[in-house]
Chains A and B, each alone.
Chain A
Amino acid sequence: MNKVKSILKDYALEIAISLIAIVLVILNPGKAYTGFKQALENFRSLLLVMIGVSLLSGYVSVVVSKETIRRYVGKESGFKGVIAGALFGSLMVGPAYMFFSFFKEMVSKGAKPRVVAASITAWAVKLPWIPFMIALLGAKFAIVLNLLIFLFAIVCGYLVELFLGKAEEQR
């Protein structure tokens, strides 16, 4: 019974979403079905990345040492660590939230919140897609916006850490 309760609590959001989905199906089955199909398609196209991220998360949490993490993206990484986080964000595909479980393992191993925040912000830069963006929105707009995002990713990292305060410093 307790186990059922903890599962219910753990997946409260997913259950809520399923309920909303059911309501939408009743309201407009056609549209809801298209939405469901799109979700499946999305899931299928990202499955490989998802497997990769999970394997990487498991590896980080069990095999990689705290010292390594600290050196590259932790306390001792400094500015370089933030840049590394922002570059990671600009290069990866799929939605940022797909990597949250990976970030969680990294943080619990000593990665700095500023690196994670920079990474999530820089997710809006998609290096491989810049030619597409230039074709649609013009070179000036595309290049200036991406440069600003990258700079903001770094600033955002430091601001988040500043506001998170000393409590995080103790890690």
Chain B
Amino acid sequence: MKILAEPVDAVVIFRKGAVPAPYKFKYEQNGERYEIRIDKVLAVEKRRTAGIASILYNCQSVIDGQEKRYELKYLLADCRWELYKI
């Protein structure tokens, strides 16, 4: 996986008493737009690297007929989602 740190549009489910769970997100690569539904969240990690609070989601989805692993990041202070690694 390569670090992209690309801001993305995301639809997220906020459940009471749980960390927000990403449902789907949109991103653009090589001029092509992808809309990806998150099939599985494999791991969630709270991080504070460089003092910046974030939640890192290790996810899995079928993209172009292929099962792929990638990481989504939620930046708490900015309330922003990033496609962190793919």
A, B in one complex: no
Residues of chain A whose beta carbon lies under 8 Å from any beta carbon of chain B: none
